[in-house]
Amino acid sequence: MIKEIFTTTFNETESASENFRASENAKKFDFKVVIVCITVAISLLLINYCSSFEFTVNLVHLINSKSANAVNKFFYEGQFAQLYRLTHWNLVLTISYLLIPIFIIKIIFKEPLKNYGLNFKNGFKDYKLFLIMLLVMIPIVFTISFNTSFQTKYPFYQLNQNEPINYKFLIWEIEYFFQFFTLEFFFRGFLLHGLKNRFGYYSVFIMTIPYCMIHYAKPMPEAIAAIIAGIVLGTFALKSKNIWLEVFIHCSIAITMDLFALWQKKLLHF
């Protein structure tokens, strides 16, 4: 089944790409590929340098130093401070992963978003793949959860000892799931479908490079797994022409990681 999916997806994507490359449009300078690549570079740059709340604190200090203390208190003091810091990170990701690409697609390319994976047709047709991925990943995540670096990293919203899972943690998990939607749209939607006409199935491997790189700050096993995930999820996205299966796979694995991390730290109580 899996081999057939990869083979069929490869053949269909390569055939469509060959037809494009044989057309008159393909002989012209490909502004679309250039714009997609530059947009990806700019978006990842914004995330790297602007997603930290310290960036906003420093920026406010430069613009109006009198307001810096109030911003500091917003991110450092009070019961919602940790949630505000994480929400700031998520907001920058939403701008970079979702809003900027949508602007490019609708305003510059003048194309429908369904051409870039925001298409509900056949979204859950391959639900069996979702189940297979979960069956494969859950034992792997469980094994990795014994790693100290994994326990330190997850969940992003840190609970104190004896602190139960509360509404702030649940709010963050909802934000966290939305972040995976924006991420999937960026990599398996905008970047992948933006390059597939020119590079065919090999656009999956191009997309996998920056996708792996955003995992450099995470535990090494996760960064290695990102290479495999990039190829597998990229293939699924080309096959179905939408991102919803990948979103659900990503969210399911993420909540599994958080729950295993809490369990390992003896924080899984309500």
Q: What is the separation, in whole angstroms, between the first and last Cα of the chain?
A: 41
In this prediction, residue 18 carries a pLDDT of 95
- How far is Cα of residue 167 from the mean position of the Cα atoms in its chain? 24
Q: With 70 as the cut, is the pLDDT of residue 270 above it?
A: no
Provide the token pair at 93.
Answer: 């990701």
The CA-atom distances, in angstroms, between 50 and each of 44, 53, 58, 154, 229 are 10, 8, 11, 22, 26
Q: What is the pLDDT of residues 186-228, one digit of tens each?
A: 999 999 999 999 999 999 999 999 999 999 988 888 899 999 9
The CA-atom distances, in angstroms, between 24 and each of 21, 108, 172, 195, 202 are 8, 21, 49, 17, 22
pTM, rounded to two decimals: 0.92
In this prediction, residue 181 carries a pLDDT of 97
CA neighbours closer than 13 Å in the CB half-sphere of residue 129:
25
Domain boundaries, the chain: 2-264
Q: Which residues contact 153 (CB under 8 A, 6 or more apart)?
A: 218, 219, 261
Phi, psi (rounded to 5 degrees) for 147: -75, 135
The secondary structure of residue 51, as a DSSP letter, is S
Q: What is the pLDDT of residues 91-149, one digit of tens each?
A: 999 999 999 999 999 999 999 999 999 987 776 677 777 888 888 889 999 999 998 88
**What average pLDDT is seen over the chain?**
92
